[in-house]
Amino acid sequence: MNAAKRLEIFRRLHEDNPEPKTELAYSTPFELLIAVILSAQATDVGVNKATARLFPVANTPEAIHALGVEGLSEYIKTIGLYNSKAKNVIETCRILIEQHGSQVPQTREALEALPGVGRKTANVVLNTAFRQPTMAVDTHIFRVANRTNIAPGKNVLEVERKLVKFVPKDYLLDAHHWLILHGRYVCQARRPRCGSCRIEDLCEYKHKTSDD
């Protein structure tokens, strides 16, 4: 895919949704961090239901840490893998309190040192909370990048690096949100909604397969 196509794709995505947002509910960088940790192998809808109960009661490292693993588990037990997630969140809160003055760090290295935080989670926090030009590649973005040919790659890291390189600079800050929403609602895994896709004429998927 050439640069002109990529520029037009993101121009249209921006035109349709000038200020894209994450669908996770949060009001502080700390709430976002916890929500993203909880969202692994879970839906944003499910996470939002749990945090709607949790955050009014505890939404600081100190308050959540005080709940302990068992106490926190009661709020998040509707989410998959809640036991391991509760342990990770409690330990993350302890580290934030002891090492970061209860603030969410703004570097990838410090974020990835937190339990339950991998590269994708760190990229979400850096981009969404701190407006850094990172690219968090989840299953939706991986699919869209490969299917459209915007940034094809064999693994998540390759796709991430290509997106950071190829997405026009003026659109890089919000590209993560546009691509994830496009993958979630239009360019779906089993049956992409090509007929109602805003960028169908620019997409190179139809040239590579005949099952669309």
- Tell me how far apart the terminal alpha carbons of the chain are, to the nearest angstrom: 19
Residues 6+ apart with CB under 8 A from 165: 151
Catalytic residue among 49, 85, 138, 174: 138
212 tagged catalytic: no
138 tagged catalytic: yes
Catalytic residue among 21, 44, 120, 212: 120
Give the three-state DSSP class for 81: coil
* Buried b / exposed e along 73-93 (16+ C-beta atoms within 10 A): bebbeebeebeebbebbbebb
207: which DSSP letter?
G
Nearest-Å Rg of the Cα atoms of the chain is 18
HSE at residue 191, side-chain half, CA atoms within 13 A, is 2
103: which DSSP letter?
P
Hey, which residues are catalytic here? 120, 138
